[in-house]
Structure 1
Amino acid sequence: MKKFLLILFVSLCSPHVNAQNASQQYRLIGKNYTEIKNYYLLNLLQNYAPATKLIGSDAILARMAQAKLKNIQDSLKANKGFRSIIQPLKFSEQEIKTAGDRLFALYKPNNALGLLVKSHLIPSGCYIKYDSLAPAAMLVKAWEQDALAINHTIEVYAEGKKPNFPDVDSINFNVYRNTYPRLIADGATAIVKKCSSTKLFYLPSLNYALHSLDINGRNDAANDEPLEQKANKAAYNRLKTINWKKYRYTLILVPGEGPDKPGVSISKGSIERCKIAALKFAQGLTPFIMVSGGRVHPFKTRFAEAEEMKKYLVNQLKIPENGIFIEPQARHTTTNLRNCARLIFRYGMPFNKPFITSTNKIQSYYISYMDKRCVADLGYVPYSLGRRLSNTEQEFYPNIASLQINPLEPLDP
């Protein structure tokens, strides 16, 4: 598993990665946005009926599902501590290999798995890192990535392992309290009951990962989804009326800054950035502002930076709602840029046209030189630099690699 993790985060330095395969016309399928964002292959295997049937009817994978449930039940009966219960809920290296080998063997270009890869996995861009592989190999890599993501989610939000950013993303519970083993056992018991008749080998572990996020109140990846039907509806509907030849940029991106104190909805820094963006927007260089930032600071805040900045732009600065997109999931500056690139692609905006960031001077120059941070956090740089326009504005071109799911950040994958 450690070897796979290292391979996964080899740097993708090119700003253009296999752009010919991902499609701006493709729409992600499914209803559980936490699952869609984190584990898209496993989501597809449940929501694409021919693949569900093929996987469920395979004797080897069905036996794997039942063996998984038995191992969980045995750990509950043994009652040797909550970590012993959690262990069989994760995927072992052997399980990952067995399932990967079986998926590879089952794959045929014109069967359900072949069509799933061709019609969903590739055009989604969610596993764009593996686009250069043969389709069957890409399917296996996507499975290995989802298995890693599930294990990581369970380790952080059930076992209490430190996440990459413990100050804002940690588990809600004290795992050393004497009531905690009961909480874990109850969750595992519920999963066994829910999956008792399943033939889908991945379902117990997938459901437990989702359960772990849910009891921690950590479904941040699903904030306000589906955005185009909710907070972004007015701006999304306006997209079809835009004559892009009239505009130099697709949008102005405004990264948020979380307040330091609980109960404060918007920081002075975010207000300042909104004012700067409004002045640039008034110049008519772009039809949209995008405000970006999730529920990050302080720990477990109920306020999303993007939502509060949109309120300020509309109510105080009188920017029309149909001129504002929100991106309410980003938790760091790197993902402000990455998630912006994703929405530009998903919403069908011109992907070869630049956007600009509008923020204060310090952050603006920081963003221009955060390539190493992006590679460390994401494995690639989600943009290429354009011109610097001023101390507070910089041009960026989105990178198609931004569509790649990050399996080690379940709150904003």
Structure 2
Amino acid sequence: MRVGLTSALVLATLLLAPPSRADPVVDQQWSVLAARLFPALTALGRGQAADGAKPSSRNAALVERRGRMDACQQAPGCLFRAGLWSDAEIAEVAALADRTLQGPARQAVSADDGLQAQVARELKGLNGVLQVYGLGAPPRYPQIDGPIDPPGTALFAATLADAVSLADGGKQDASAVLDPSLALVLALLDVNDRKTASAFEPLDERYNAGALAHARTVDWRRYRFTAIIVPGVGPENPALTLSARGKLNVRMAAQRFADGAAPFIILSGGAVHPRQSPNVEALEMRRALIERFAVPPESIVVEPYARHTTTNLRNVSRRLFALGAPVDQEALIVTNAEQSKYIESALFSERNRIELGYQPGEIERRLSPVELTFRPAASSLRIDPLDPLDP
């Protein structure tokens, strides 16, 4: 009888006790997006959290920032302004990363110009999202970028309030643990459905696995070029999947591949024109190469993120490095005469300098009105979230 009473008391205690708290849920979409846009900041936050303390308790700048943002009491305008990073804060957190991240973690997120430069780029990218999507500043490319609702409207204000609530709900997410501005930026992109930067991840596993496996068997020296590069030329009509010049580019590339010029064709172009188009240039060109010209799928590499000619070449350089193509061997850019002439121009070089901060590779020789040789640059591997749709 006494045993039965004890069991009943234990059961009652268990039923009345509050449920134990599990670890914060992980938003897989935020995790992938944060890793794409802010790899060094994400690594820094997770590394410090793994030591058993909040990163904000380890650094004076992070402590001050958290207090500054908490003082806004969730008011959107105040919060977005408080979330902006000053030059002094950028320098301090870059130095923190330099002291903290070591070994494989450091190597994985460092760029050719060093870890501190990479951290600074990512923090400036955070500022860019807060300014454009939170404070209504004009984006670099207003025709294809920016918030879903016009700044200054009631809808824009409502979206900002929703972003603040979503950020507060996700403030314990592992991808945003370093600083509250990370959750704010991820939420701003989320409520505007601007998750383009992670739309095709993991890129090489999903789309290029066959090509990467093939690359391990290629004798590169048997070919004049490492790859035939085809930049996208998006249609302005949403009813068209490929523009006329895009179709011409595909045909010319198929011919050069049939000639044995290179073991791979790399197709570059995202869903850009017209704004919020559902058609991804690289994937549509891949379809055309396979269905119309019988190019083997394992000889095609897609790069579906680029939204400009500058990032066409930058992102193609990344895929050349991923393939393990020898950097001392040229690739071949094949495109319509107008775009080919532009790629060779001083205007294009200057645009690279302004928008990327470097040249994504070297244009070496013109072989014909539609063909240029190209050698990729390691600087193209730098991740830069100042363009949060294609870092």
Q: Work out the CA distance in 2 between the residues paired with 1:219 and 1:187.
A: 14
* Correspondence for 2:360: 382
CA displacement at 1:371 relative to structure 2: 1.7
Retained in 2: the 8 A contact 1:55–1:200?
A: no
The 1:322/1:97 distance shift into structure 2, 3 A limit, reads closer
* Correspondence for 1:91: 85
* Correspondence for 1:175: 151
Q: Deviations over 1:113-167 (max 9, x none)?
A: 233xxx344465x53223xxxxxxx43x433322111111121122222121111
The 1:55/1:391 distance shift into structure 2, 3 A limit, reads farther
Matches within 5 A, 1:131-150: 138-139=115-116, 141-150=117-126
- Code of the residue aligned with 1:42 in structure 2: it is L
Moved more, 62-71 or 202-211: 62-71
Retained in 2: the 8 A contact 1:386–1:396?
A: yes
Retained in 2: the 8 A contact 1:307–1:328?
A: yes
Tell me the TM-score normalised to structure 2 length.
0.83
* Correspondence for 2:113: 129
* Correspondence for 1:114: 102
Q: Work out the CA distance in 1 between the residues paired with 2:122 and 2:249.
A: 37
Report % sequence identity. Answer: 29
* Correspondence for 1:359: 335
Q: Work out the CA distance in 2 between the residues paired with 1:230 and 1:101.
A: 36
Q: Work out the CA distance in 1 between the residues paired with 2:176 and 2:254.
A: 51
CA displacement at 1:200 relative to structure 2: 7.6
* Correspondence for 2:13: none
Q: 1:53 aligns with which of 50, 54, 57?
A: 50
Q: Work out the CA distance in 2 between the residues paired with 1:198 and 1:389.
A: 50
Aligned positions, number: 361
- Code of the residue aligned with 1:228 in structure 2: it is D
Which of these two proteins has the greater Rg computed from alpha carbons? 2
Q: 1:260 aligns with which of 230, 236, 245?
A: 236
* Correspondence for 1:22: none
Tell me the TM-score normalised to structure 1 length.
0.79
Bigger relative contact order (CA 8 A; separation at least 6): 1
CA displacement at 1:375 relative to structure 2: 1.2
Q: 5+ unaligned residues in a row in structure 1: which ranges?
A: 1-29, 131-137
Helix, strand or coil at the partner of 2:72: helix
* Correspondence for 1:205: 181
CA displacement at 1:210 relative to structure 2: 1.5
Helix, strand or coil at the partner of 1:168: coil
The 1:297/1:72 distance shift into structure 2, 3 A limit, reads same
* Correspondence for 1:391: 369
Retained in 2: the 8 A contact 1:62–1:201?
A: no
- Code of the residue aligned with 2:349 in structure 1: it is D
Q: 1:348 aligns with which of 312, 324, 337?
A: 324
Indicate yes or no: 2:387 matched with 1:409. Answer: yes
Retained in 2: the 8 A contact 1:359–1:392?
A: yes
Q: Work out the CA distance in 1 between the residues paired with 2:82 and 2:285.
A: 44
Retained in 1: the 8 A contact 2:270–2:282?
A: yes
CA displacement at 1:62 relative to structure 2: 6.7
Helix, strand or coil at the partner of 1:167: coil
Q: Work out the CA distance in 1 between the residues paired with 2:142 and 2:173.
A: 37
* Correspondence for 2:6: none
Q: Work out the CA distance in 2 between the residues paired with 1:287 and 1:166.
A: 38
* Correspondence for 1:368: 344
- Code of the residue aligned with 2:375 in structure 1: it is Y
Q: Work out the CA distance in 2 between the residues paired with 1:201 and 1:97.
A: 19
* Correspondence for 2:194: 218
Helix, strand or coil at the partner of 1:356: strand
Retained in 2: the 8 A contact 1:90–1:154?
A: yes
* Correspondence for 1:135: none
Matches within 5 A, 1:240-251: 240-251=216-227
Moved more, 256-265 or 54-63: 54-63
